[in-house]
């Protein structure tokens, strides 16, 4: 098991976990690019967005819902925030375990990519 996020799920690599349930966990990004930078991941090792089936739509819906809740808890809901899922090499995905970034706490770039 050489996936860093699977190791975080298993508790073998320490992280600041802010939320967890049966399906997913959320923790602070180790290299934040904004005052709030959280990562939301499924416990299951799904390599990328491109590997999701229609049947897994509830999972991504749940990820968005928890991100919204965490944005409120982090105090960035009113100011605004951004959810990002990088997919594949050209999409900028470095860790091959599906994850959603929650970014906020400052004015984010107007450019997307």
- Catalytic residue ranges: 99
End-to-end CA distance of the chain: 31
Q: How far is the CB of 97 from ligand AMP (least distance, A)?
A: 8
Binder of residue 77, out of ligand AMP, Zn ion, none (CB less than 5 to 8 A by kind): none
Of 108, 104, 110, the closest CA to residue 37 belongs to 104
**Six-digit token string for 73:** 């808890």
Binder of residue 15, out of Zn ion, ligand AMP, none (CB less than 5 to 8 A by kind): ligand AMP
Q: Which helix (H) or strand (E) holds 104?
A: strand 100-104
Contact status, residue 15 vs residue 7, Cβ threshold 8 Å: no
Binder of residue 52, out of Zn ion, ligand AMP, none (CB less than 5 to 8 A by kind): none
Q: Which residues bind ligand AMP (CB under 6 A)?
A: 4, 13, 15, 27, 29-31, 39, 86, 92-95
Q: How far is the CB of 108 from Zn ion (least distance, A)?
A: 27
Instruction: Give whichever of 7 and 68 is closer to Zn ion, judged by the CB atom.
Output: 7
**Six-digit token string for 105:** 């706490």
């Amino acid at each position: 098991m050489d996936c860093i996020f699977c190791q975080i799920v298993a508790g073998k690599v320490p992280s600041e976990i802010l939320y967890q349930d049966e399906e997913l966990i959320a923790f602070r990004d180790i290299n934040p690019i904004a005052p709030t930078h959280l990562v939301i991941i499924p416990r299951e090792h799904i390599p990328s967005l491109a590997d999701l089936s229609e049947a897994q739509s509830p999972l991504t819906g749940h990820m968005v819902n928890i991100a919204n809740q965490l944005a409120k808890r982090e105090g960035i809901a009113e100011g605004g925030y951004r959810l990002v899922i990088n997919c594949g090499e050209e999409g900028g995905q470095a860790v091959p375990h599906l994850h959603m970034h929650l970014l906020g706490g400052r004015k984010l770039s107007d450019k997307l990519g």
